[in-house]
Structure 1
Amino acid sequence: MSRLRGICIVVTTAATGAALAGCMGQEEAGDKDPAAVAAAAKASAASAEARKAASTKSRTAAAAQVHANELGQIPVLMYHRVIDKPTTQDDRTPQQFRTELERLAKENYVPITAAEYVTGRIDIPAGRHPVVLTFDDSSPSQLDLDGMGTPKPGTAVAILQDVAKRHPGFRPVATLYVTRDMFGKATPEEQAQMLTWLRDKGFDIGNHTKDHLSLGGKSQAQVAAEVAAGHRLITGLIASAPITLALPYGNQPSTKEWGLKGSSEGVSYDYGGVFLAGYTPAESPFSKKFNPVGIPRIRSMDKTGDCAKFCSTAWLDWLQAHSDERYTSDGDVKTVAFPKFKAPFVTKRFSDRSLPY
């Protein structure tokens, strides 16, 4: 039982000079019953736990409703030039590129950057699927700006922006792996202008080495020198360091980790992922199958010749037919949702975000 301490107040009125007195009780501080305090704390903790359980149940139900599978596969598409008259198997016409983007939008894909992918910052709506659009070699066909800073019609970036306007929710972002060609711009000022525009519009700039030389068969020092030169090329133009590397020709060094981390002539790099040149969809960054030193990409091409099975049209067909193998978002970037039976495949790095259902 708490005790009351009496407090009395005396007031003299100005009109009569009479003194009015009154007393009131005040609970002494620090005299609360310890048992009552403990009970209140226990009740508060139970209430918080109940709210947490209710929230988890609600999020789990929402994930189950959209068949979320954030351990599923993600297509990383590889593009080079977007030109009217293709001369190599890597070239795509503007219409072919637009058609593929339209398909992605209609099949509920949402573009994310390579940096967002490797770091697990996949923030897309529930029921949607991430796709990573990558462009190699910094060709002028990918991006050129007019005098007002608007992408010129027919370039890959302009087409991407136009498709995004037609399909709300289809983010106009991509990763551009640059070399010294730098979109055909000769001066550092023009090059910085291009990279700044991309960064400010939410695009991701990746390292493709400065000179685009194969890293296969080179020594560790040679590999580090090539990668560091590409890193320096970018950071010398803008105050943003690349997060990923795309290997020239997809050729890995004899020790794969050399492309991921190293240093040369005062420049150090430590990337979240190294991308190859093609073949299959990529693993979720939340899965134990994810391998940062060799992330596969898919070459954009119709189902012809070797591409009948292993290029973009074929793989998008396969993912559409095998939707349970595809990454599907639960809409909450803070959780990693998946069917319970897939729990053994969650990588330890993200286990605290797991939301099995």
Structure 2
Amino acid sequence: MYHRITPNPQSVYDRTPQRFRAELQRLARENYAPVTTAEYATGEMDVPAGKHPVVLTFDDAAESQFRLNSSGEPAEGTAVAILREVAAAHEDFRAVASLYITTPPFGGEHSGRKLRWLHQHGFELGNHTLDHPTLSARSSSEATHQIAEMQRRITREVPNAEVSTIALPHGVHPQPEKLARSGESEGVSYRHDAVLLVGARPAPSPFSGNFDPLNVPRIRSQGGSGSGSELGSTVWLDKLAADPARRYTSDGDPSVISHPADSTRTPAPGQEKRINAY
């Protein structure tokens, strides 16, 4: 989970361009392969054999994440530009991510053009609500309006975009919680395959019985020191490197779900026929 990419971090949610680049390079070295939240949530991940899927998510549609230069390309130093540079240097490290949109998107100016560029280049446009409120503090009708109206604005600019996942502002559900998954307001209906929380651990395999689409955890991008660092990305990547059996590792065949024959993990309902125990 990323927010601003800035040379002058103001909170634990910010990362410098240098540290962001270094983290992407580490992911590439350790055989992680980026997928979108939508691909993860539906299990439609065509990941090369031996690779580990990783979802890069960006909240708040900050201008430091993405803006276009005078040539119509991602501006140097932005998150999207850095991701594309790292991807170009590492085979199987796709330049894809899921960006969660609120208003104004990426600084506001030419926002439609920016959203269209992202969609055309394989980035997922997700919902982060219209005004970024704490949804539990709003009535059910206000909460559904916040979600539906943001979807309407995204699809108005990008008519063929499928807004199928949402990142909850502050990680807080509306009441009732199911309104984060689906709802309708003023003629706009929405349904999400995944509802993302703010923290603070790796998400389970979408083929696992532990997968809960209404409560998908994320790891905050953060170094190995400071407040909350024990839940941050550096610590978690160290843990997963030390215990690689905990990581989802692709068998290279999207039609099959492989796992060790002695595994005690329970598959999600409906996935039993795809299991390949080895």
TM-score (norm 1): 0.75
SS in 2 for 1:299: coil
Matched, 1:192 2:106: no
Instruction: Summarize deviations over 1:195-227 as a string: whole Å, max 9, x none.
Output: 111111111110000111111233322221111
Count of residues in Structure 1 that have an aligned counterpart in Structure 2: 277
Distance of 2:167 and 2:98 partners within structure 1? 10
SS of corresponding position for 2:58:
strand
1:211 matched to 2:131: yes
Give 1:272 deviation, angstroms: 0.1
- Partner Cα separation in structure 1 for residue 63 and residue 6 of structure 2: 10
Aligned to 1:290: 211
What is the deviation of 1:131? Answer: 0.4
| 1:280 equivalent among 198, 201, 208 | 201
1:288-309 C-alpha deviation (Å, 9 max, x unpaired): 1000111011111111233331
- CA distance, structure 2, for counterparts of residue 355 and residue 194 of structure 1: 42
User: Which residue is 2:2 aligned to?
Assistant: 79
One-letter amino acid of the counterpart of residue 223, structure 1: A
Match of 2:59 among 125, 130, 136: 136
Counterparts in 2 of 1:52-67, with a 5 A limit?
Answer: none
- The 8 Å contact of residues 208 and 265 in structure 2, kept in 1 or not, is answered as no
Higher helix share: 1
Alpha-carbon separation, structure 2, partners of 1:122 and 1:197: 23
Amino acid at match of 2:175: S
Give the counterpart of 1:234 among 154, 158, 181. Answer: 154
1:211-262 per-position Cα deviation (integer Å, ceiling 9, x unaligned): 1111123332222111111111111111213110000111122322110011
SS in 2 for 1:300: coil
Please give the per-residue CA displacement for 1:138-186, whole angstroms capped at 9, x wherever unaligned: 1110111122221111000010011111111111100000111110123
Please list every run of 5 or more consecutive structure 1 residues that lacks an aligned counterpart in the other structure.
1-77
Matched residue type, 2:80:
V
Q: Which amino acid aligns with 1:282?
A: A
Structure 2 residue ranges without an equivalent (≥5): none
Matched residue type, 1:181: P
Instruction: Tell me the amino acid that sits aligned with residue 222 of structure 1.
Output: E
Contact 2:25–2:86, Cα closer than 8 Å, also in 1? yes
1:180/1:233 contact within 8 Å kept: no
2:237 corresponds to: 316
Q: Is the 8 A contact 2:63 2:106 kept in 1?
A: yes
Whole-Å separation in 2 of the counterparts to 1:172 and 1:215: 31
- Structure 1 CA distance for aligned equivalents of residues 229 and 106 of structure 2: 31
Residue 325, structure 1, aligned to residue 251, structure 2: no
Q: Which residue of 1 aligns with 2:27?
A: 104
Q: Is the 8 A contact 1:343 1:356 kept in 2?
A: no
TM-score by length of 2: 0.96
210-219 or 292-301, which deviates more: 210-219
Aligned to 1:303: 224
Higher radius of gyration, 1 or 2: 1
Deviations, residues 109-132 of structure 1 (Å, cap 9, x unaligned): 000000100010111110110000
**Structure 1's 142 and 344: CA in aligned 2 closer, same or farther, altered over 3 A?**
closer
Aligned residue identity for 1:94: P
- Residue equivalent to 1:263: 184
Question: Structure 1 residues 192 and 349 mapped into 2: Cα distance closer, same or farther (>3 Å)?
Answer: farther
- Name whichever of 209-218 and 173-182 sits farther off: 209-218
Q: What is the CA RMSD across the aligned residues, in angstroms?
A: 1.2
